[in-house]
């Protein structure tokens, strides 16, 4: 077995053979995923096991924790000094449970964190008492997950395929854990390609951060893209934070096995427990796919408190509690380097237009656009994600626009750039092939208008929401206040959105006053808002068919149905 499909299928069959009837389907991942990680770790340490045990025996009476000595002497990033691994555990089936705990507790501290967050221990006794632990261990020793056989790219695919299936079984949102690779490749190319000159420096050191890193796929694909397409020598440090303990453990274990720094991956909510806040850490590049339309009610108190702080991450406004997408973008903006950073984020349509002038969402858009940080938005085809068929958008945000982009926002309609999949995977029925990704990237880089690309001034997206008042009338008389001003009738109150590019009074004289000659604007109620009506800008009018054409088609259909009926009757 050498492909992710073969290994994923094998592991999936293990669920049927071992776990069915003993665990509920939504619990399968809690058992299987840590076993995949343990087997991967065993395979990495294979051939070094006896050396590790020897060093541990030599120093165990001198140090409470021998892992640092082991790692230093043997040039390892992690270790396990137990005389057991999954393969050796089979040698003493009568003491399997006891030896299994010895095996787990003998991993180095950095692996202990991973194991604890998997929560595997609570399932060991259940497996053992039902005579399933030996069978599960035996099954996993049949697969070779050594990096020489299964590289990190394939291993990542295995984890993400399993996560997708387990999420579907438990009715969870698989999009919270897994962004399709075709989407990730497009996003990272848009983020990094504009900095080719900067990244071509062989001595360059950069940082990349994902506040919702899941299993770490977006980070590692981003790093690979830079090395393969720009400069294989650039030093890239990856950082991430993940709320879900299970995916956090997978990500951290993957970083342990590779040349990444596992301590750069943190556990917890980046919105309320920013684990990278030490020394006010900033990042050169930030990429993420935050969960779509997920409530932040459980964190509302802390976020609202921070929004009251001057200069805090959320001080310009907060979105409605039912969707926290824009909070993640605000968080990333707070981590931009003063000399310049680039951000790529995948959103659904809500952050484009939800909220009227003065609302939290509108205030956030206003802040970003008026700060000249929004560089571009690319609409993607629908049905790209496994858990939803909705359309999605890539936002590119930066505080270092080049001269030709200053004061401008580029919109690209990429909804037609896809190929249909031969077989659907959940809701994913489409994918963006490499040539289409390159076409979208070139369209973005050219920064020219065409049928797929439009360029607007920043203020194009802004408007002033003005309140139109009409006088209150009783018995044919206009009611007035003490100063002689007409009293407004709240029942007749209305509003108009006046583009920022237009003079408000000119607009009122042209569009409102001819129809409501006694009306006036209450400027005290005016609010500036911003929205991005993506569909409207790319709308192409299609003339209606003539009544003659429609009648002709109906008569033809009637004729066909009559002929079919005659054939049936005959």
Chunked mean pLDDT (size 10), the chain, 570 residues? 76 89 88 94 93 94 90 94 94 92 94 91 90 94 90 84 77 60 96 94 93 93 95 95 93 89 95 90 96 90 93 94 96 96 96 94 97 98 88 96 97 96 88 97 96 97 96 91 91 95 96 95 96 90 73 77 69
CA distance 186 to 434: 9
Q: Is 447 left (phi over 0), alpha (psi -120 to 50) or beta?
A: left
Distance of CA 234 to the CA centre of its chain: 25
Per-residue DSSP letter, 194: G
| Predicted structure pTM score | 0.89
Distance CA 463, CA 529 (A): 5
Residue 465 confidence (pLDDT)? 96
In terms of Cα–Cα distance, which of 271, 235, 239 is closest to 252? 239
CB burial of residue 160 (10 Å; 0-12, 13-18, 19+): buried
Task: Please calculate the CA angle 381-384-387 and round it to the nearest 5 degrees.
Answer: 135
pLDDT at 2: 59
Tokens of 376: 């571009």
CB 214, CB 112: distance < 8 Å: no
Q: Report the pLDDT value the prediction gives residue 175, as an integer from 0 to 100.
A: 44
Looking at residue 177, its pLDDT comes to: 53
Cα 312 to Cα 180, 264, 306, 319, 335: the distances in Å are: 33, 24, 6, 15, 12
CA atoms 195, 197, 202, 203: torsion sign: negative
Please list, in sequence order, all residues whose beta carbon lies within 8 angstroms of the beta carbon of residue 255, skipping any fewer than 6 positions away: 216, 238, 261, 262, 264, 265
d(CA 376, CA 397) in angstroms, rounded, equals 7
CB 133 within 8 A of CB 97: yes
Instruction: Tell me the Ramachandran region of residue 422: left when phi exceeds 0, alpha when psi lies from -120 to 50, beta otherwise.
Output: alpha
């Amino acid at each position: 077995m050498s492909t992710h499909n073969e290994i994923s299928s094998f592991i999936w069959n293990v669920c049927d053979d071992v776990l069915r009837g003993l665990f509920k389907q939504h619990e399968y991942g809690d058992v299987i995923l840590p076993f995949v990680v343990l087997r991967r770790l065993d395979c990495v340490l294979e051939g070094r096991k006896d050396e590790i045990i020897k060093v541990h025996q030599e120093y165990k009476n001198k140090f409470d924790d021998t892992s640092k000595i082991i790692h230093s002497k043997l040039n390892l990033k992690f270790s396990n000094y137990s005389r057991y691994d999954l393969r050796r555990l089979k040698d003493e089936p009568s003491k399997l449970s006891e030896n299994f705990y010895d095996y787990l507790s003998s991993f180095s501290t950095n692996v202990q964190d991973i194991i604890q967050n998997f929560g595997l221990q609570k399932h060991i006794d259940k497996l053992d008492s039902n005579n399933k632990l030996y069978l599960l261990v035996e099954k996993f020793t049949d697969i070779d997950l050594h990096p020489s056989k299964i590289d990190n790219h394939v291993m990542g695919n295995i984890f993400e395929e399993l996560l997708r299936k387990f999420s579907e079984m438990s009715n969870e949102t698989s999009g919270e854990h897994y962004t399709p690779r075709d989407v990730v490749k497009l996003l990272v190319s848009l983020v990094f390609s504009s900095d080719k000159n900067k990244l071509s420096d062989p001595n360059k050191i950069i940082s990349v951060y994902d506040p919702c890193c899941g299993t770490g796929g977006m980070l590692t694909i981003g790093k690979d893209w830079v090395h393969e397409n720009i400069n294989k020598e650039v030093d890239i440090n990856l950082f991430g934070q993940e709320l879900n303990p299970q995916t956090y453990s997978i990500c951290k274990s993957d970083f342990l096995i590779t040349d990444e720094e596992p301590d750069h991956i943190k556990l917890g909510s980046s919105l309320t427990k920013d684990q990278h806040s030490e020394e006010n850490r900033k990042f050169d590049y930030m990429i993420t796919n935050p969960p779509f339309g997920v409530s932040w009610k459980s964190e509302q108190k802390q976020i609202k408190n921070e929004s009251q702080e001057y200069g805090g991450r959320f001080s310009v406004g907060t979105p409605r509690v039912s969707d926290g997408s824009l909070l993640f973008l605000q968080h990333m903006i707070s981590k931009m380097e003063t000399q310049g950073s680039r951000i790529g984020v995948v959103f659904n349509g809500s952050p484009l237009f939800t909220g009227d002038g003065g609302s939290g969402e509108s205030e956030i858009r206003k802040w970003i656009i008026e700060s000249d940080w929004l560089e571009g938005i690319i609409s993607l085809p629908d049905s790209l994600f496994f858990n939803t068929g909705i359309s999605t958008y890539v936002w590119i945000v930066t505080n270092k626009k080049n001269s030709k982009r200053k004061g401008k926002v580029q919109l690209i309609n990429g909804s037609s750039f896809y190929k249909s999949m031969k077989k659907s995977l959940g809701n994913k029925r489409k994918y963006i092939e490499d040539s289409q990704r390159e076409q979208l990237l070139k369209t973005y880089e050219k920064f020219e208008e065409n049928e797929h690309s439009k360029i607007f001034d920043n203020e194009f997206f802004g408007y002033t929401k003005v309140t139109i008042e009409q006088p209150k009338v009783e018995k044919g008389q206009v009611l007035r206040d003490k100063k002689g001003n007409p009293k407004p009738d709240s029942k007749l109150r209305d509003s108009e959105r006046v583009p920022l590019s237009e003079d408000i009074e000119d607009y009122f004289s042209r569009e409102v006053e001819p129809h409501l000659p006694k009306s006036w604007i209450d400027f005290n109620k005016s609010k500036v808002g911003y929205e991005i009506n993506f569909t409207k800008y790319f709308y192409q009018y299609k003339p209606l068919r003539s009544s003659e054409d429609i009648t002709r088609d109906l008569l033809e259909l009637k004729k066909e149905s009559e002929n079919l009926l005659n054939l049936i009757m005959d």
